[in-house]
């Protein structure tokens, strides 16, 4: 159907809006498909027999709020530096990504957090003040381990039984 001067005014206005809406729909679909393909390539916590990149997972702390920080895809040296430089008053946490890289969180707020894809070994630095204790909890909410505030001490952690962290 051609849009001409004799086409009703309302129809002439809606055709370009309809075409624009279709363009947006197709671009959103392609972005969503690309994101799904990237997530599949990264593994999203599901091991694969492909290369190391496909076996990687993404450790997540939920929720995380500003000014709290997260660094992803850091190597072992960067991980150590981020833990050693954990600010006073903060709890800092590291977890492996399954591909030799690590994710490091600097946590400030005292609220229980859920952990996702915290698999195998990791570390915690409790640089909080006032005697705040980091509590690592099992799936049922019971405390598995407590880490007392000790400035600059990196404590190794087995994340396998840990589902929650309560920074203080």
Return the SS3 of 144.
strand
Please give, one letter per residue, the 3-state secondary structure of the chain.
Answer: CCCCCCCCHHHHHHHHHHHHHHHHHHHHHHHHHHHHHHHHHHCCCCCCCCCHHHHCCCCEEECCCCCCEEEEEECHHHHHHHHHCCCCCCEEEEEECCCCCEEEEEECCCCCEEEECCCCEEEEEECCCCCCCEEEECCCCCEEEEECCCCCCEEEEECCCCCEEECC
pLDDT tens column, 101-155: 999 999 999 999 999 999 999 999 999 999 999 999 999 999 999 999 998 899 9
- Judge if pTM exceeds 0.75: no
Mean pLDDT of 15-23: 44
Mean pLDDT of 52-67: 84
Q: Return the pLDDT at 2.
A: 57
Q: Return the pLDDT at 5.
A: 54
Peptide bond into 58 cis (omega under 30): no
Q: Return the pLDDT at 55.
A: 64
Checking if the pLDDT of 7 tops 70, the result is: no
Q: In the chain, where are the structural domains located?
A: 1-42, 54-166
Q: By the 8 A CB rule, do 126 and 133 touch?
A: yes
Checking if the pLDDT of 84 tops 90, the result is: yes
Structure tokens at 141: 């909410």
Kindly provide the b/e burial profile for residues 75-84, where b requires at least 16 CB atoms within 10 angstroms of the residue's own CB: eeeebbebbe
């Amino acid at each position: 159907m051609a849009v001409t001067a004799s086409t009703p005014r309302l129809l002439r206005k809606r055709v370009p809006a309809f075409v624009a809406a279709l363009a947006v729909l197709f671009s959103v679909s392609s972005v969503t498909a690309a994101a799904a393909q990237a997530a599949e390539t990264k593994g999203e916590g599901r091991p694969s027999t492909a290369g190391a990149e496909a076996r990687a997972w993404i450790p997540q702390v939920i929720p995380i709020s500003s000014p709290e920080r997260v660094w992803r895809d850091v190597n072992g040296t960067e991980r150590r530096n981020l833990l050693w430089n954990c600010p006073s008053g903060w709890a800092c946490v590291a977890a492996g990504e399954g591909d030799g890289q690590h994710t490091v969180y600097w946590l400030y707020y005292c609220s229980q957090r859920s952990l996702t894809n915290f698999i195998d070994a990791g570390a915690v630095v409790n640089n909080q003040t006032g005697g705040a204790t980091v509590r690592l909890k099992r799936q049922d909410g019971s405390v598995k381990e407590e880490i007392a505030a000790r400035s600059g001490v990196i404590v190794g952690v087995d994340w396998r039984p840990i589902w929650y962290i309560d920074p203080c």
